[in-house]
Amino acid sequence: MADLKAQIIEQLNLQEVAPESIGNDQSLFSKEGLGLDSIDALELIVLLQQHYNLRIANPEQGPQIFQSVRTMATYITANQTVQA
């Protein structure tokens, strides 16, 4: 999950955010959490494609997968093919 956090920070250009400061279960989109928005969700879809070869065709799946770093990691583990 540490890798994933670093990737999120890089993809979204989250200046002044340290990977360890993002909690595994911290909300990514709520105001109390990281406060990401719909554009970030689209960026995260590309992140999954680039780093994990996972394609999300329907953006409406986003909110469920991108609740927290842990839900993202779970999704990646569950859907990644053997070769990746």
Nearest to residue 75, comparing CAs of 41, 52, 46?
Answer: 52
Taking the complex as a whole, the smallest distance from the CB of residue 34 to another protein amounts, in Å, to 9
Taking the complex as a whole, the smallest distance from the CB of residue 25 to another protein amounts, in Å, to 21
Q: Between the CA of residue 32 and those of 21, 37, 79, what are the distances in Å?
A: 14, 13, 29
Chain residues binding another protein by CB under 8 A are 11-16, 35, 37-39, 42-43, 45-46, 49-50, 59
Q: Between 44 and 69, name the residue whose CB sits nearer to another protein.
A: 44
Amino acid identity for residue 2 in this structure: A
